[in-house]
Chain A
């Protein structure tokens, strides 16, 4: 790949998904696009990029952009956040809702570790009322992985207690699969956070953790506003520990980083 190829692909990723890819990070771009080139039968990444550049191929372009999206996550990442959500936030919201239903959305879920963390907590100590779990990602391939719920021994040991491993997983050859009773509690959907999110409806808790930091400044502002727009009145937006919400009307919780509660009133416009 030439520097021009790197810059072209970075531009495509920014335009399609708001991803902030540094064209100078050639190794990152090539390591992500290499598997796409092989899968699609190209002799090299440069050939793949040339096709994306020269003719409109929506499927191929989408595959490239999805491959560039960050996929790093882990079970119970920042465990204190999950414990706070489950002990304080979710029971409080359930009591406030007339129907007792708390809707939780993990936006940019990657391989699904965070939403499964919540599904495990729900199985261990069910919240009052009813909890509905949704998860989305830009990448259909990551969503397929998440739906399947199969993880390596490295993945299940990062953040996950051994007690939770034996309780919620099954051996699957050399890997571990989330038990069906846990998997079936989550609904999955492909969502580009740059799209209109209003059709998703309102959510009581939106997790979008360590996603905004990987976006261009313009996309970060846009996605932050769109996410804020789907957080219910008195609902909670959960970002990465060091991330902050750009929209008005949210107050940070003092005891855990990256958790913001909407300050009363109606939902903000997306």
Chain B
């Protein structure tokens, strides 16, 4: 994730996103969709790696899988908020978990939005707008 990177139109990226997901395929898809929307994207395969990224450079947005080995999405979010500057990023959960009680739990913990997998570009665009990071 570098702030001097250019978009396909040659414009400077103005927003940064960290994708925290243990699936390489999901990270790749999310990166493509977010870069299409002018985000500079970094990837982390688990919560610990994600927190290390945030300590190095706090992103504007975190796209976060709820269910990961080592550290759950909820635990990542709790720890993120304790980091210096960690209250600033908008966090959008992104998970196959579609139980409304679990979704409510994520929102109550401070998630700005929630994406149910599988998703497409339209859904990502709508959720970014609803989270106020479009």
Contacts and interface: CB of A to CB of B under 8 A. Distances in A.
Bind each other: yes
Contacts of B127: 157, 162
A161 B113 contact: yes
B116 A157 contact: yes
Contacts of A171: 98-100
B110 to A, nearest CB: 12
B39 interface: no
B41 to A, nearest CB: 21
A170 interface: yes
A159 interface: yes
A53 interface: no
Contacts of A27: none
Interface string B109-123: 001011110011011
B18 interface: no
Contacts of B115: 157
B123 A158 contact: yes
B3 interface: no
B103 A162 contact: yes
Contacts of A166: 100, 103-104, 107
Interface size class of B (residues with CB under 8 A): 10 to 19
A79 B130 CA distance: 10
A174 B119 CA distance: 15
Nearest to B92: A162
A203 interface: no
A169 interface: yes
A165 B126 contact: no
A48 to B, nearest CB: 32
A2 interface: no
Interface in A154-190: 154, 157-159, 161-163, 165-166, 169-171, 174, 176
B103 A157 contact: no
- Which of B99, B122, B130 has most chain A Cβ within 10 Å? B130
Contacts of B104: 166
B37 to A, nearest CB: 16
A21 to B, nearest CB: 25
Contacts of B103: 162, 165-166
Nearest to B103: A166
Interface of A: 79, 153-154, 157-159, 161-163, 165-166, 169-171, 174, 176
Interface of B: 98-100, 103-104, 107, 111, 113-116, 119-120, 122-123, 126-127, 129-130
The 9 A-B residue pairs with the shortest CB-CB distance, nearest first, are A162-B114, A166-B104, A157-B123, A153-B116, A161-B130, A166-B100, A162-B113, A166-B103, A171-B100
